Amino acid sequence: QVQLLESGGGRVQAGGSLRLSCAASLQPFSRSTMGWIRQAPGKEREFVAAIDWRDSITYYSDSVKGRFTISRDDAKKMVYLQMNSLKPEDTAVYYCAARVLAPASDGLEYDHWGQGTQVTVSS
């Protein structure tokens, strides 16, 4: 059974930083595109970032480009989202997602999803 477990969410003031982590029990992790998607209250899910399994090419939404960084550690089966210069509009539940043997993109097509971790940014 595939499990994606997010951690690292919390409350931070605007301008602050958080680092989200996702532990994956997924095979083959090293051949899975990993992504972060968020959902704010009353809004649809929104792509945030993705990292390709073949060459670690990364994709970001325009709203987070330059502030967020996605990375992965295949040996540990972990994916991370470093979030800097946080803004109140970044407040959302952040989900880790995985798609095996698929290229990364800015879409929402994933096979497996975590339960999410709440990020709250106060002004």
Per-residue model confidence (pLDDT) at position 109: 93
Per-residue model confidence (pLDDT) at position 52: 95
**What gap in Å lies between CA 67 and CA 54, rounded to an integer?**
24
Report the pLDDT averaged over residues 87-114: 94
CB atoms within 10 A of CB 66: 9
pLDDT tens sequence across 15-73: 999 999 999 998 899 999 999 999 999 999 999 999 999 988 999 999 999 999 999 99
Per-residue model confidence (pLDDT) at position 56: 87
pLDDT tens sequence across 84-93: 999 999 999 9
What the block records as the tokens of 118 is: 């709440």
Per-residue model confidence (pLDDT) at position 75: 95
Report the pLDDT averaged over residues 82-101: 97
Q: Are the C-beta atoms of residues 70 and 51 closer than 8 Å to each other?
A: yes
Place 1 in a pLDDT band, splitting at 50, 70 and 90. Answer: confident
- What residues contact 59, with CB distance under 8 A and at least 6 apart? 47, 49, 50, 51, 104, 105, 106
Location of structure tokens 């670690």: 56
Per-residue model confidence (pLDDT) at position 55: 87
